[in-house]
Structure 1
Amino acid sequence: MSPDRGDRRAVTAGFGALLSRYRTKTWLGGAVVAGLTVSAAMALRLALSPVAHFYYLPVMPAIMTTALLGRRSSVGLAIVLAIIGCELVVRRDSIADTLANAALFIVVAWAVAEACFRLRAALDAAQTMARDMARRELLLDSILTSTPIITLDCDGRTRRVTQGAAALLGVAPNGALNQPFETLLPGFGAAALQAAQRSDGASRTLWRASRRPNGDAALLTVAAHQLPDDADPEHTVLTLTDQSQAEAARRRERELNDRLSSVWRLNSMGEMAATLAHELNQPLSAAAVYLHTGQADLARIGPVAQPTLRTLDLAKAQLLRAGDIIRRMREMISNGSRAFTEERAAQMIRDLEPVVALIGQDTGVVIRIQTDDEDDHVLADRIQLQQALTNLIRNAVDAVIDRDDGQVTVTGRALGAEGYEISVRDNGPGIAEAQMDHIFHPMISTKTGGMGLGLSVTRSIVESHGSALAVSRPQGGGACFTFRLSRPTESEIP
């Protein structure tokens, strides 16, 4: 709509509002309007009589005013009063002349009144239309304020930026005006605009907006619609849609699917572990019996066989330990129970020295064990805790196995009433910040060919002892896993 047309419509609506304000709605009010307007017209006629002779012409404004402000009955009364007034002022030659002029006046006056009625109806319609348009413009402004919309001219510069669009793009509405849209949404140039228009005004490509004050970058889709040429200078309307929440929902859905898959695999592995625990227990027991028999046979040889006997003792101890691990796993899988007893933490760590020595020999990694032997009484499941500690040591060794100076340090430290702290530290590359929150999840592994169960099982064992397995990046580099064991109380000691 052109400005001139808008101004004319505003003037028309204003004139209609003025008439509506002074319009009478009762018969008595209309009669008063007819009487006052005809009286004023007759006074004007008498004032003009010395200048020229007028008949019904001076009273026509009275008829028009009455038609604009009153009813049709008021117009009829005004016509009657005008005829009576004119006949009292002007003497006619004959009755026929009087009737002819009166009839002609009635026809003309009523035609003018009908035209005024039509004008009044048009003014009322214009006023109603103006009110409706004002309400619609207010509604449209409210919608546009909350809807992310940007208009562009033919050169791709912004002509209008709503508050919603400015919020998505992280810019001020006024500061974004007359700017190339590509500066507001990087990468969205002329080619992207043409692609959006060719796809019926909708582009499903995700565009990343600039960083907003809160540090987030919105993911947007852009719908493009071309305006008619007479809408100049605005040529294209862009509607922005924030897809951040939808993408976050899809990402959570993928994570949920991954977790469900992991749970399914873990359940399958749990069933397999229960089967293996049952099946492996018998050959391990048989192997222990065979070793015991071999020891008895070697004992008959004499002192020469003592080194071999000591090696067989170590092998049999490991077989028995493996049997205990399998038995505990079966108990945990079947009913989730664990046997906690009072243990010496330093002794539990020292008992792993033969296993740790073998790991060090096979990998060439130096493994040091440092423990506080005093005040090391804790409440623990000995076998399960040693298994968790072995997992941590193996992971630490794997992290430094490619280094010439690879070192792993196992430390046990008494903390008084707070318990006994055990830590495993290496001097490897450490754990990336992005992986800190995920390394304990099942099926997540940083090692090639790893199953991602070692740290998950280790954390479960530590948490079953009422502790938490923490990981940190020491100042000197590498990674450090730490947990604490609580002191036994009289009620907890079996």
Structure 2
Amino acid sequence: MTDTFPDAVPGGDEDGSPDEAGDSAVRDRRVLALYHRVVDNSPDIIYYLDNSGRVAWVNPSAFRFFGYDDPAGIIGQPFVNYIHPDDRELVLTSFLEAVRTHRENTTGLVFRLLKAGGDVVWVELHSQMIFDEDGNYFDEVGACRDISERRKAEDELNRVNAELRAYAQVVSHDIKTPLTAIQLALDMIRRLLDDEHSEEAMDQAREMVGVLDRNVEQANRLVSDLLTLAEAGLVPDDYSELDVTQLVHRVVEELAGSIEERGARVDFDADLGRVCANRTQLYQVFSNLVRNAVVHNDSPEPRVEISFLGVTADGGYHYRVKDNGSGIQEDYMDRVFDLFFKGTTGVTGLGLAIVRKIVDASGWDISVRNEGGASFELILYDRG
């Protein structure tokens, strides 16, 4: 096995005792010995590549990791030989881009390495390139951390989430099928009622039709919310700078029916600023907050205000969605974002659970308090 560091260090004997060079040399020797122990005992693969990309040095963990007893199995070999064939383009592209742009540090590059026996291991790379005075690539030092267990857990989580999304699709189909039949039956009842001559019977029938209509709408809303909830925790890959004023305006337009039914008024600032985010997720956040403020507002003259409170010290965009209802009972304050929480209305809602899931997945923040009604404060950070 190759040595980790050269032993010939001036300024001290092997035991670190001082000689004529003085205390400074002793300290140097002790620091080097400390580095020696840290590197040798690190569980990570620590390596040094020469300017041809060949392995010039590795720590003992690398030999154990790759399964080589003979240093010749690693030392002097091209590092690319140990990268999984499917990941070589990824790693080489990152390497060449770093050389081209003189990027010294590469952090968090994830790929697969091959052991001596052919086993595949996921690793996360952190490396630093060294350039000469003319800006030419000289060599590279770095560390690879085995993240196989983390990757396994992530794959399992992705599998479970995929199953849950598939389940939500199946459930929505199974629920919507009878709902469609109910809707067709309601249409037929309406046509039959048009032929009746008893106003009292028709009034009662129409009233029942209205009840059925509302239940169909509620069931459809529940199905839609379940599907949204299944997608809410996913990390999207498309972000753009969004005009929040325009987005909120569209939310209010979408909720016009509910707003009119409640006799509510929704006001928002003329300039709500701009945020870089996923459009669908940001729309869901504001839509569910506004819908909640309208539907659960017990004021005889419901009012909802959406305000931009400015930029926080850490660069977040601070928003508030506030209503003029009686607020939230203190006993319920910590549970309003829970899945299927009913509260005092007895109505099962998913809206705030969807908001919480999107907020958490996006690294945002949301809080609620009573301030002349329920007041939800949202802090958004640019994504992408």
Q: Which TM bucket (shorter chain)?
A: 0.3 to 0.5
Higher relative contact order (CA 8 A, sep 6+): 2
Larger Rg: 1
TM-score norm. by structure 1 comes to 0.31
TM-score norm. by structure 2 comes to 0.39
